[in-house]
Amino acid sequence: MTRTHLGVAALLSLLVGWFVFDGVSSLIGLPALYAQLGVDPVRVPWVALWAGVVLPVVLFVAAIVIVRREPLTRFTLVLIIALAATAAVRLSLIALATGSILL
């Protein structure tokens, strides 16, 4: 990995940081909201909440490990795909955790 690779990874990790921040917010906020609404604490979706915190980091680090020897363009593209996959998984986790589907 060159310095440019590290720079791109550092820049895109800001977005990973936001995903982690959002996951931690949900991890703290959703149980509190459930308690406020009088929902049984057993129904708090802890697995989905913790996955929301851990998965962004796991996907991003896995992408870096897989393409660390690739040219810069491909390296950047794969990291962006990892972020896009993180965004999709995050929405899936929210749907699974809250079950708030408006069909």
Partner 1 sequence: MPRPPVPDDDAALRWDEFDDSSHVKSDATIAARAAEETGGVEADDDASGATGETPAVAAAERPATGLRLLTAVFALVYLALTVGWIIGIGLVPLSGPTLAIEIMYQFSEFLAIIAAPLWFAAAVSRTRDGQRAAHRLGWLALGTLVLLPWPIVLGVLA
Residues within the interface to partner 1 (CB under 8 A): 18-19, 22, 74, 77-78, 80-81, 83-96, 99-103
Cβ proximity to partner 1, 3 vs 80, nearer residue: 80
CB of 92 to partner 1, least distance (A): 4
CA 22-28-32 angle, 5° bins: 130
68 vs 74, beta carbon nearer partner 1: 74
Q: CB of 51: closest distance to partner 1 in angstroms?
A: 12
CB of 83 to partner 1, least distance (A): 6
Let me know: does 6 contact 79? Beta carbons within 8 Å. Answer: no
Q: Is 43 exposed, middle or buried (0-12, 13-18, 19+ CB in 10 A)?
A: exposed
